[in-house]
Amino acid sequence: MKRLSALGVVTISSLILGAVLPADNAVAQQKSLQELLVGAWTFVSADSVRNDGSKIALFGSNPKGTIIFTGDGHFALVQMREDIPRLASNSRDQGTPEEYKAIVQGSIAYFGTYSLNAAENVINIRLEGSTFANLMGGGEQKRILTVLTTDELKFANPSTASGATLEVAWKRAR
């Protein structure tokens, strides 16, 4: 009877495990869009893309924020500039007009429900609340998925209130 060396056993074991435990990309390919999307994501960037192709980083070079998608179709988003001012009064209802302006211009939050259209790579969102009330009442909004992996999420909003296209990037929260 022939015996396998320790190296042979390791090699065979590696081959077996490799066949059973696919690489991360293979796992990502096996998951549905829903499975890939669900969870918490950390804000990386939001660029407003003008008709001439120029881009503006809406929340600066080091934005803060999160988006969370639940398995039952709910989501919540918060995005802000890193340099949101602190209120000198230390009271939310006693800020100055300048402080309030910087806060409103440097942040947004909204929440609601979502559904996925996997055939079109689209997230359809329905807002239930927003710090920018003008977003409310417009019906379903589309976010076009451009990247969705286990660690990266990118989508575009082709119909912003300003008329520009918004490109947003996220990384999986750890």
Higher pLDDT, 36 or 29: 36
What does the pLDDT read at residue 52?
A: 87
Of 8-12, 49-53, 79-83, where does mean pLDDT reach its minimum? 8-12
CA of residue 109 relative to chain centroid, distance: 13
What does the pLDDT read at residue 29?
A: 58
Contacting residues for 22 by C-beta, under 8 A, at least 6 apart:
30
The end-to-end CA distance of the chain, in Å, is: 50
Q: pTM for the complete prediction?
A: 0.79
141 SS3 class = strand
Contacting residues for 27 by C-beta, under 8 A, at least 6 apart:
150
Q: Tell me which H or E stretch contains 25.
A: helix 24-30
Q: Determine how many CB atoms are found less than 10 A away from the CB of residue 153.
A: 25
Give the residue carrying structure tokens 């390791």: 10
Domains of the chain, first to last: 31-172 (2.40.128.280)
Q: Is the dihedral of CA 18, 24, 25, 29 positive or negative?
A: positive
pLDDT in tens, 84-121: 999 999 999 999 999 999 999 999 999 999 999 999 99
